[in-house]
Structure 1
Amino acid sequence: MGFLRSKTTGFSAIVTTTLNQPWTMWSLRGDEAALVDTKALQWHKPLAQAFDGAFATLPEPFAGCSDGVIRLSQGSTLFLAGDQCLEQDWNKKVLHQGPIIDYPGLGPHIPAAFRSDLDVAVQLPAEYSTRRTLLIKGDQCAVIRWGEGVGYQGPLSGMEGAGWKMLPADMSGDFDHAVMCFPNGVYRTLFIKGDKAMDLDWGRGPTAVGTWGEVVAGLAALPADFQKPRLPAAGRFSGVADGVRVDLRVDLEGELPVVSGDLFTVSNGAYYNSFILDGGQAVELPATITGTAKYATETGRTRVSVRVDKLAPGGTATLTRSTPDGSDPTVFTCSYVSRFLRTIDWEIDYVAGSTPVGQYATTDHPRPPGLDKRIMTVQAAFADAGVELRTAGAANEVALSEADKDKMWSVAELDAAMRRHFSLHRDALQWKLWTFIATRKAYDDGTASPADGTMFDGDGTFQRQGMATFYDVMKEVEIVGTRDELFTFIHEIGHALNLAHTFGKQDAIPKQPLGLRNGYGDKSFMNYQGEYLGDPATGEGNGDAAFWEAFAWQFTPGELRHMRHGFYEHVVMGGKPFLTNAAHLPALAPPAPSRSGLRVRLSGSESFSHGEPVTVEIKLSLDGSRPAAEAVDDLKPGGSHLTVLITDPAGKVRPFQPIARDCGNHDRITLDEGTPALYTGAYLGYGAGGFTFPEPGTYRLQARYRAPDGSTVVSPDHLIAVKAPADDTDRAVGDLLLGSQQGILLALRGSDAPQLAEGNAALDTLIADHPDHPLAVHARMAKGANAGRNFLTLTETGVEVRPADTDTSIEQLAAVVETTLDPTTDAGVDNITLNESMRRLARAHARAGDLEQADTVLDQLVETFRDKDVPEPVLATIVEQAETARTELHEQA
């Protein structure tokens, strides 16, 4: 994360050459510099040529990407670039280089809340030979006395001097720049915020407030590029009328203006509607934008008119909502709030041994067209998109013992950690997001996942509030500290804002159009670098290298529109489930036939009783048109490559969305005679939208697999019948599995999370009261799987580990296996779940110290599937899984 945030001005830094009159200031834009006095431009040249070449030897990223400059006494200058700094004297001698927080005298004394995303860092006159630096963030500030500590920390209005208490409302914080001068012993600071400036006399208050030229004529003489705003021509306003508050967004970034707003009841703050209005033609301010708006919820007041004077501090916007003929108007007079269209409070926790996400200097690699020299951070990427990520304090390190450092995190543990450790968490719609940097993610079967990131919060009513990245995985693939790591963070936050993968937008409801080459050709944060397919018309290549040669660190226009103007519930954390809603089948018409050489099939039971968890087996194989074909080993529904569409008895269709979505590189494999197919199993009973099969009837399932060539392979329909309860006992047992907490537990293979206590109690009741019922096996599976693993709980002091309960795990999983293999009953789990259960059972025996019994279970696993006459390649895979598990268990013992 950067020490200073991205600026709205065309220049990134400004500093005086002297604190006394005559007053001159020099500004930086990339590797260019410009010097002005109070009246005119003195010069504009490359920084390397300025000041007689004093900075000609500056290394990158400081030479082209500095986002702040501090003038120090004794002829030295401190350049700031992201979280790094470099002090150099005017004789080209480097006096210090390294992280800002390690900079002697200053860095160690900076309070945690002021270590990232600052608005301003400006040097004050020394006091009793002690250097002093003023840091400003929002309307808060801290004065650092070098080598001593914090001299003052609190609101700007509490600074020494009566003038600080006289700040105008629209110039009381969130500044872009501050320049200090000291004429005749009087403390004065020039503040710049967007296109507005203020000259503040610390003792008497503002002496001038207005445009740059009105306050300091020389600022208006800066070169045109320095005056051009760097971020989108957009602004957020707020106003109240008739007991309703509107958050109004005006966006002039594209060819046509877009106006959108969210409406809330003043009395209780409850949200009740949103609208979007596309203007008919480009406008220049001041302007009026009028038309028929689209609303999230039907309303009679579809005519919207917005009159706006400027998108900057002091600007106003008048919103009028009325019926189509203009009658019954409600008029909102709205004040300017922010240059950002949306603001998110972002909290980060990370396990000891990992590090918070860093930064990327675009000068580190050859830059594609449209990418400036700059420091790129997570916040900068979203600031470019018009979204403010406001860090909630400093990132918090979570202690992890040496014995526990290799433990993996299941979705259940991540969810429990968020609910317990996310200080801003509430089951509500709110612009607040939690990020956890964990070690490694575990699959449902307890094995390690290759995922480097996940948006895991997909259960319950309020979703998309949490995302995680996995440091150990990123370290193994050598992307820690690189642009790929930064890309991963931005990508996962995009999912939290309800953005789909570029190649998965047809799964969204309503369906979104795919970009170039079925979305694989989009130069977007939401694509996969390794699966990029360049435009053949321009000679672009495919894959990771080609992606970085073309990527300008941007979202697509459609993604930007969603983040800036999407209906409130479709974007805000805690709002609509990821990509889900209801739609009719015509909206999801079959794609063009695939020529990938692949075939996908769904199979499994065709009949399920009341409450029975619905599972399917998924097979990807050759279609017979060629002897070999390339495939991606990613068959989990809701992942990057496979979607299962479910049509309910009423004819409505929706894609199944799991409660967690993993992102990361997946192995590519060639299907041929030796490896003719890939298999996996999937539990579809409960997902991000709740229960998938809530009513009796016939459901139609269809798989869609995205092949490496970008085409979509469609499976034949797989019909399943969900039956009504046969009797009171079936109803009672089924009901014990149908609570939402039980659905989550089945999806997660159990959990210790306190918020799922009622669901766990229901599963315990099912096992205790109906031990012989066919559905008891599913409760045993969840309880046994969870008991057999260590459960990690994030606490205020670190990570607590509940050790595996091997006795319970063996008892429950042995019952699952016994029931499934009993030839006298049809009860039990599917083949893939049986395989998983037997390997879990072997692991539990090994943990209990009984390696002999673990070996016996693994031998039984192989013999069981040999007796089932599964295809030879499948049996070979099962043998390999068993032997791999055996080797691991013996090595661990």
Structure 2
Amino acid sequence: MTPQKDRPVRPRRTEFTQDYAPPGGDGGAEAMALDALETAAGFDAAAQQPLPVTPVIPILYNVSGLYQWSQLQPIGPVPNPLPPTVPQPIPGPVPGPGARTENGAAMAEPAAATAAILRETLRLDVDGRYPQMVASGTIFQLLTERIHWIARLTRQADGSWVGPIFYKDGTASALPHTQVRITAVRTPFPTSRSATVTFTGGGAATRVRTYKWDSAYYRPCELEYDTVAGATAVTQIATHAHPRRPSSLPSETLTIEKVFQRAGFNVTRSGDSPIPIVHAGANARWNEAEMHDAMQRFWSRFANRPQWAVWTLFASMSEQGSSLGGIMFDDIGPNHRQGTAVFSESFIKDAPAGDPAPAAWVARMRFWTAVHELGHTFNLAHAWQKVHPPAWGNSWIPLVNEPQGRSFMNYPYNVTGGQSAFFGSFEYRFSDQELLFMRHAPERFVQQGNAAWFTNHGFEQVRRSDTPTFAFELRTNQGDQPKAHAATHQFLDQVVVELKLTNITDEPQLVDARILETTDSMTIALKREGGEARVHTPHATMCWHSKKRVLEPGDAIYASLYLSAGRDGFYVAEPGRYVVQAALHLAEEDIVSNPLQLRVLPPRGYEEEVFGQDLFTADVGRAFAFDGTRALDDANATLQEAVERFAKHPVATHARVALALPQAVTFKELREGDGEARLQFRGLEPDLEEARDLLHDALAERPGEAARTLGHIDFAEYGAKYAKALSEGGDEIAAEAERESVIDGLKKRGVKASVLDEVRAKQRKTK
């Protein structure tokens, strides 16, 4: 692993042109060059001999980058054996830091005014690659962030930049000013570069601060790639390999590191490894539990703390199938957004028929997917996903959706004209809104492992139509019929809700087949009585291939949602009343669901109350969400305890499923490798007998009760997995009996015949 350096490395000579400003600079270097020529001409005039003059080309060095100011002083007064002199009142207001005298000269700042301020940073973004014409800064006190500010800048005739401070985060009184003026010293010598910021307005005394140059990059980032045997890792491409491209696109070898360098990050690499698969069995596909376990155990930089570091796993295929191209892990331990996986043999390897350069198309799509998933780890939402109801989140600044944007965060096949039109004008960059967020938003919003996924983007209004196309319904299977808009759960029970989208028009409608299975186009909010509203986000964010489905009038599609826990821990745990509501964001309208009422009963005794402290933890929530784990031993111990102590309680049904499913298949585990391989995946042999006993108790013993507890959709899915495990174990008679048990259980729940036919069709596919 390569240690991250304290200071960024200077760009290579091949990229040195990026250190120059575009035409229209302040002319300081040009004036110095002309002065030098005039002086030389004066000396030569005495000799009356003209000398050959070599033309001096003015070089205007970029000033964009990171600047630092620090002043370390003792905190508090120096001990004095004599009683200190009592300060006398000073007539008039006390000058603030950086105040000016009556003649305009800057006053020296008294030690007391800066004794507690250790460090300030400035990010100047006015030239170079994709300038945003803003400056941002952070004031730290006692190693704690005090205030973060951002100003919009306009270039002045004298070469300075002036503009209003439009954003503040933190203690506003620490910086009451409202305007900035910035001047910068351009020089080829980085140690001599500086920027001076004059803060004015807000009724405060003028404040002047001079910052020293630190780096051409705004923030650091460390990337680590691990590749499973048989997968293809594409971390660089030739931009002109495919003929469908912008005519102005430079021909170069573009790497993932360079993409993020151009976004403003000082990128380093750590610990890349090829990963062989040992004894993995026939199933080399990956589920979320396996990837999550692997990341926690063997990412060389994994830590339960915020850090500028990301892990990317290149694997062949997900268990979800070829339609899943990539996934961002939102919740690794208590910290989020630290890792991604890219599935190289998914739909991203299928070039369109007749494409003029299919190999280049595949490489480009794999590269795009990797950068797209990494963008999520910087807390970037999809291009069309930035606008949501105001009550469901906090806006960092007002944003707008960019459904036609040519950004890494947009789906190529979603724009008008499809992927061909997208790549025909795609410049391998993030949008200006995204660059502003990555470079200048408060650090905790962007840094991996810090603020939770998809917080602090733009949330605005819901576009509800007077004549909606669809009806969006949240319901629960807890009642006698699967149409209850209210449900009561016992304490410790896990809440699963059903989503239903129905075409309520008189015409067929085209929808994304997985629109209810992803949070890309959906926001779910829930509120406990007496508490604040929270946005529900699952543990994983997936990048699906777009597959359309026709909904005839009256037809519906369904999906299940595990509501109890997500990337913020448990949402539904404490006794009380809850309200859940969702909004589906479509191209032309937002569809808002009914409010679903939930009630969690108090514990039935001291034993349940105490056990809840062990159950409602982040690791147990992840085990439930990922249908089990082989790595989180404490979580498995808690689930086993739930089965043994509360055998007839609904939580035991959920626990049995989570314990059984990892035992029903060959489970892939990342281990330290033998020989040259640093890491390798080994297949853990299934324990079919243990899995069979657990799943029989959970599903087959009381199928009607299991369907009510797990929800109809998950009950059918788990039954299909159980039947498949029985069949692969050689017991086809028991497998068929389990399939019929699922149908019988759903019949007892009053499920429609058409839905039962769909379940049978899915069962046949999994045989």
User: Could you state the TM-score of these two structures normalised by the residue count of structure 2?
Assistant: 0.78
The corresponding residue for 1:835 is 716
Q: Look up the SS of the partner of 1:389 in the other structure.
A: strand
Aligned counterpart, 2:746 = 865
Equivalence for 2:125: 251
Is the aligned partner of 1:194 residue 2:78? Answer: no
Residue 44 (structure 2) aligns with: none
Q: CA deviation at 1:310?
A: 3.5
Name the counterpart of 1:815: 697
- CA deviation map 1:676-710 (0-9, x unaligned): 22111110111112211244333222222234x44
AA paired with 1:424?
A: R
SS of alignment partner, residue 558 of structure 1: helix
Between 1:291-300 and 1:697-706, the stretch displaced more is 291-300
- CA distance in structure 1 between the partners assigned to 2:56 and 2:298 by the alignment: 49
Per-residue Cα deviation, 1:643-672 (whole angstroms, up to 9, x for no partner): 322233246333311111001213210012
> What CA distance in whole angstroms lies between the structure 2 residues aligned with 1:872 and 1:285?
78
The alignment status of 1:300 with 2:173, answered yes or no, reads yes
Amino acid at match of 2:325: D
Equivalence for 1:614: 495
Taking the TM superposition and a 5 Å limit, the aligned residue runs for 1:314-353 are 314-318=192-196, 324-326=202-204, 333-353=210-230
In the alignment, structure 1 segments of 5+ residues that lack a partner are 1-111, 114-136, 140-168, 180-190, 197-209, 534-541, 887-893
Are 2:683 and 1:801 equivalent residues in the alignment?
yes
- Report the AA paired with residue 543 of structure 2: C
Q: Given the alignment of the two structures, is residue 469 of structure 1 paired with residue 348 of structure 2, yes or no?
A: no
Instruction: Name the CA shift for 1:774/1:488 in 2 (closer, same or farther; >3 Å).
Output: closer
The answer to whether 1:450 aligns with 2:299 is no
C-alpha contact (below 8 Å) 2:279/2:682 kept by paired residues: no
Query: Which residue of 415, 428, 431 corresponds with 1:556?
Result: 431
Structure 2 residue aligned with 1:482 = 363
Do structure 1's residue 884 and structure 2's residue 765 form an aligned pair? Answer: yes
Match of 1:240 among 53, 61, 70: 70
Residue 555 of structure 1 aligns to a residue in which SS? coil
SS at match of 1:350: strand
- Structural mapping, 1:636-715, within 5 Å: 636=516, 638-650=518-530, 652-672=532-552, 676-707=555-586, 709-715=587-593
- How far residue 838 of structure 1 moved from its aligned partner, in angstroms, is 1.1
Q: Counterpart of 1:5?
A: none
What is the match of residue 622 of structure 2? 744
CA distance in 1, matches of 2:544, 2:466: 24
Q: CA–CA distance in 1 between the matches of 2:293 and 2:152?
A: 45
Equivalent residue in structure 2 for 1:784, among 635, 660, 674: 660
The partner residue of 1:276 within 141, 145, 149 is: 149
Other structure's SS at 1:413 match: helix
Whether the aligned pair in 2 keeps the contact of 1:406 and 1:439 (CA below 8 Å) is: no
Report the Cα distance in structure 2 between the residues aligned to 1:138 and 1:497, rounded to whole angstroms: 18
Residue 466 of structure 1, CA deviation: 0.6
Amino acid across the alignment from 2:560: G
> Is the aligned partner of 1:760 residue 2:636?
yes
| Amino acid in structure 1 at the alignment position of 2:418 | G
Q: Aligned partners of 1:465, 1:603: CA distance in 2, in Å? A: 33
- Compare relative contact order (CA 8 Å, sep 6+) and give the higher one, 1 or 2: 2
Which stretch of the first structure deviates more once superposed, 502-511 or 789-798? Answer: 502-511
Structure-2 change in CA distance of 1:831 and 1:437 (3 Å): same
1:142-167: per-residue Cα shift (whole Å, max 9, x none)?
xxxxxxxxxxxxxxxxxxxxxxxxxx
Match of 2:453 in 1: 578
Could you tell me which of 239, 243, 258 is aligned with 1:365?
243
Deviations 1:832-883 (A, max 9, x none): 1211221122123234332221121112223333444422331221011111
AA matched with 1:309 = V
Q: Does 1:770 align with 2:646?
A: yes
**Aligned partner letter, 2:605:** D
Taking the aligned partners of 1:486 and 1:476, their CA distance within structure 2 comes to 11
Query: Equivalent residue of 1:457, what SS?
Result: strand
Q: Which residue of 2 aligns with 1:94?
A: none
Identify if the C-alpha distance between structure 1 residues 310 and 792 changes in structure 2 by more than 3 Å, giving closer, same or farther.
Answer: farther
> Which of 845, 849, 852 is the equivalent residue of 2:726?
845
* Alignment partner, residue 627 of structure 1: 507
Q: Give the whole-Å Cα distance in 2 for the aligned partners of 1:334 and 1:803.
A: 60
Counterpart position of 2:469: 597
Q: 8 Å contact 1:619–1:680 — kept in the other structure? A: yes
Gaps of 5+ in 2: 22-31, 37-52, 73-116, 352-358, 479-486, 674-679
Answer with 684-693 or 864-873: which moved more: 864-873
Q: Name the SS of the counterpart of 1:465 in structure 2.
A: strand
Q: Confirm or deny: 8 A CA contact 2:152 2:166 kept in the other structure.
A: no
The residue matched to 1:640 in structure 2 has which SS?
Answer: coil
Equivalent position of 2:307 in the other structure = 430
Residue 732 (structure 1) shift: 3.7
- Give the residue type in structure 1 aligned to 2:694: Q
How far apart, CA to CA, are the structure 2 residues paired with 1:303 and 1:317? Answer: 21
Which among 562, 566, 570 is matched to residue 441 of structure 2?
A: 566
CA distance in 2, matches of 1:565, 1:411: 32
Q: Could you tell me whether the CA contact under 8 Å between 1:745 and 1:751 is conserved in 2?
A: yes
Q: What are the Cα deviations for residues 483-515 of structure 1, in whole angstroms up to 9, with x where unaligned?
A: 222111111111000000111112483347564
| Change over 3 Å in CA distance of 1:491–1:737 after alignment to 2 | same
Query: What amino acid does structure 1 have at the position aligned with 2:451?
Result: K
| 1:373 CA displacement | 3.8
After superposition, give the CA deviation of every residue in 1:604-631 in whole Å (9 maximum; x if it has no partner): 03222223211101112211x2231101
Of 1, 4, 10, the match for 1:174? 10
Counterpart amino acid of 1:553? Y
Aligned CA distance change for structure 1 residues 178 and 618 (closer, same or farther; 3 Å): closer
Partners of 2:630 and 2:438 lie apart in 1 by: 35
Q: Summarize the Cα distance change of 1:501–1:220 in structure 2 as closer, same or farther, 3 Å threshold.
A: farther
Instruction: Assess, with a 3 A threshold, how the Cα gap between structure 1 residues 288 and 622 changes in structure 2: closer, same or farther.
Output: closer
Q: Any conservation in 2 of the 1:274–1:567 contact (CA below 8 Å)?
A: no
Verify the 8 A CA contact 1:700 1:719 in the aligned structure 2: yes
What is the alpha-carbon root mean square deviation over aligned residues?
3.7
Q: Is the 8 A contact 2:146 2:174 kept in 1?
A: no
Distance apart, 1:316 and its partner CA: 1.2
Contact 1:286 1:307 in 2 (8 A): yes
In structure 2, the residue matched to 1:82 is: none
**SS of residue matched to 1:832:** helix
Report the CA distance between 1:459 and its aligned residue. 4.3
Structure 2 residue matching 1:354: 3-state secondary structure: coil
Distance 1:271 1:802, change over 3 A: farther
- 2:71 is matched by which residue type in structure 1? A
**Superposition deviation, residue 279 in structure 1:** 3.7
Distance in 2 between the 1:765 and 1:838 partners? 23
Counterparts of 2:758 and 2:187 in 1: how far apart (Å)?
62
**Aligned twin of 2:482:** none
Measured in 1, the distance between the counterparts of 2:538 and 2:431 equals: 25
SS at match of 1:365: coil
Q: Deviations over 1:391-425 (max 9, x none)?
A: 236x3211124854742222222222222222122
Work out the number of aligned pairs and report it. 663
Distance 1:466 1:287 in 2: 41
The answer (yes or no) to whether the contact 2:148–2:442 under 8 Å persists in 1 is yes
Q: Which has the higher strand share?
A: 1
Distance change (3 Å), C-alpha of 1:193 and 1:527: closer
